[in-house]
Amino acid sequence: MAFFENTKTAIRTLLSRPATILYPVQPAKKTPLSRGHVTIDESRCISCGICQRKCPSQAISINKEAKIWQIDRLRCVVCNSCVDSCPVKCLFMDTQYSSPVTARSIEIINITYVKPPKPENKDEAAV
Amino acid sequence: MTKQIIVPFGPQHPVLPEPIHLDLVLEDERVVDAIPSIGYIHRGFEKLVEKREYTEYVYIAERTCGICSFVHGATFCQGIEQIMNIDIPERAQFLRVIWSEYSRLHSHLLWLGLFADSFGFENLFMNAWRIRERILDVMEQTTGGRVIQGSCKIGGVRKDISNEKLDEMRRDLDSIESEIKDLTSVFLQDDSIKHRLRNVGKLSKEDAYHLGAVGPTARGSGVAIDLRKTGYGAYGKLNFQLVTDSCGDCYGRCAVRAKELFTSIDFIRQSIQKIPDGPIDVKVTGAPNGEFFARAEQPRGELVHYLKGNGTKFLVRSRIRTPTLTNIPPLVRMLQGCELADVPVIVLSIDPCISCTER
């Protein structure tokens, strides 16, 4: 006969603090690797379009002429593959989730990167 | 002769985490037959394989299931690696085993909780999920995702675990193990639970074998099948004792899963001890040309990914056979002859994962 098998756990739970946290008063647990949402440093993006090609859910699109980088947050599956493949490392993974929305929308970000002018003479550049 | 009536069970039912529909043919309170039907959450994953590059499909394969997601991703990668003859580094193989076993721990704890809830033991449900939260924390610390890890890729893994973190994980396992011991002793010893589960949903060894039961459902009936015994990945370098139970009832299946928690912990300990240093991935070029049946042991049983490529970046066919699909015929057999009040417990005893089943 086995009764009161759960007593040990019950007593321990009574004497310890709650296992849950008081969210949102206390922030949710996050680790440095946590995948929350993708952010971009628009001043460094060279509009190469690799993130758009690597995106498995086709959430990112980029317009080279208009210099626009846009993302549909509700399509994004936060897989980190754009961040891994960005050649200039201008994409980052934020640990916090993107904020809730009431309607579907596309976030549009204007790219402010300006290509540095090529030095006219190679010898001058060396000097 | 008693009049037969049909009682619909599901797709919405308090005990079901996911939608499955059963038409229960009753004679008084006794179930004489059950007619299952699925098709409520079909998402067309197998068709999507033609539209996404095979390297990107890993993320989609992983989203087949929300519980055993890592194993789906790893099995898909295994299949592609076999077609393309890629040898992945040993460290990557061991890391896959570690994450697979953590998935198993979290899946079994989730199931134990849901099962306790199905027979009305809500406190035990909370206790199981509290331990599960510690497992998920480790997952998030090492891969970045709680349930969708996204750490597998073709040719290896995307994230490495540092040796210091591995040590910390090994130390953590000791306290997790003692908590799991307290939890499983309630499931295996408590008289009220035994009374509720004994001789409910009987499945004989022959029926389990002939109806194609897999995983803990088969092992709970005494059929000793486990794909990890075939030694795929790094499993060949680790040794373990296969857990089976001869009862064949709900208690047997519960006991198998409870004991498998310790097998998983043992696997993780062995892997951390034996994991070699070195690279975690190899560069992959080209496209798969050929076909392969990739098989792996999921928390619920044997998982099969059939993949066929034609030398382009897009596969031409993918077929996913999940363990729940093969466990439905044994479930129908278990339901024949049971009481109506036992149906929720029996349905949950096979650990149904319907989203997986419908892909």
Residue B85 domain-assigned?
Answer: yes
Domain membership of residue B18 (yes or no) is: no
Number of A to B CB contacts under 8 A, please give it.
Answer: 60
Summarize the confidence of residues B246-275 as an average pLDDT: 90
Other CB atoms closer than 10 Å to residue A126's CB: what's the count? 7
Residue carrying the six token digits 């758009």: A52
pLDDT interval class at A107 (50, 70, 90): confident
The verdict on a CB contact (< 8 Å) between B63 and A77 is: yes
The phi-psi region of residue A58 (left if phi > 0; otherwise alpha if psi is between -120 and 50; otherwise beta) is: left
Any domain includes A63:
yes
pLDDT at A126 over 60: no
Domain count, chain B: 1
Please compute the mean of the pLDDT values over residues A76-86 and round it to a whole number.
88
Please indicate, yes or no, if residue B220 is contained in any of the structural domains: yes
List, for residues A34-52, the tens digit of each pLDDT value.
Answer: 888 888 888 888 888 888 8
| Cross-chain CB nearest to B141 (options A6, A31, A84) | A31
Question: How would you classify residue B136: left for phi > 0, otherwise alpha for psi between -120 and 50, otherwise beta?
Answer: alpha
pLDDT beyond 60 at A17: yes
Residues of B with a Cβ under 8 Å from any A Cβ are 52, 56-57, 59-60, 63, 123-124, 127, 130, 133, 137, 140-145, 148, 150, 158-159, 182-183, 185-186, 189-191
What ipTM is given for this predicted complex? 0.78
pLDDT at B76 over 70: yes
Position B145 scores a pLDDT of 86
pLDDT digits (tens, 9 = 90+) for B7-57: 888 788 877 778 888 898 988 888 888 898 888 888 888 888 888 888 888
pLDDT value at residue B1: 65
| pLDDT at residue B265 in the model | 92
The better pLDDT of the pair A118, B158 is held by B158
- Listed range (A45-54, A107-116, B180-189, B304-313) with the worst mean pLDDT: A107-116
What is the chain A residue with the closest CA to B161? Answer: A33
* Mean pLDDT (whole number) for B260-268: 91
Residue A120 domain-assigned (yes or no): no
pLDDT given at position A12: 83
Q: How many domains does chain A have?
A: 1
**Tell me, what CATH number does A79's domain have?**
3.30.70.3270
Q: Phi/psi of residue A93, each to 5°?
A: -105, 115
What's the predicted TM-score (pTM) here? 0.88
The mean pLDDT of B224-251, rounded to a whole number, is: 86
Domain-embedded: residue B1: no
Q: What is the pLDDT of residue A125?
A: 53
User: How far is B107 from B125, CA to CA, in rounded Å?
Assistant: 13
Q: Is residue A14 part of a domain?
A: no
CA A14 to chain centre: 39
Domain CATH number, residue B74: 1.10.645.10
Residue B160 domain boundaries: 44-326+344-352
Judge contact between B246 and B252, C-beta under 8 A. Answer: yes
| pLDDT for residue A3 | 66
Point out the residue among A5, A33, A56 whose CB comes nearest to the CB of B185.
A5
State the residue range of the domain holding A92: 27-110
Cα–Cα distance, B272 to A81 (Å, whole number): 27
pLDDT at B108: 92
Percent of chain B having pLDDT more than 90? 13
Give the confidence band of A123 by pLDDT, cuts at 50, 70, 90: low
- Portion of chain B with pLDDT greater than 70, in percent: 100
In a domain, A64, yes or no: yes
What residue of B is the nearest CA neighbor of A35?
A: B144
Tens of pLDDT, residue by residue over B93-125, are 999 999 999 999 999 999 999 888 888 888 888
User: Looking only at Cα atoms, what is the longest distance across chain B?
Assistant: 71
C-alpha closest to that of A50 among A37, A74, A69, A72: A69
Comparing A111-115, B137-141, B349-353, the range with the smallest average pLDDT is A111-115
CB A8 within 8 A of CB B185: no
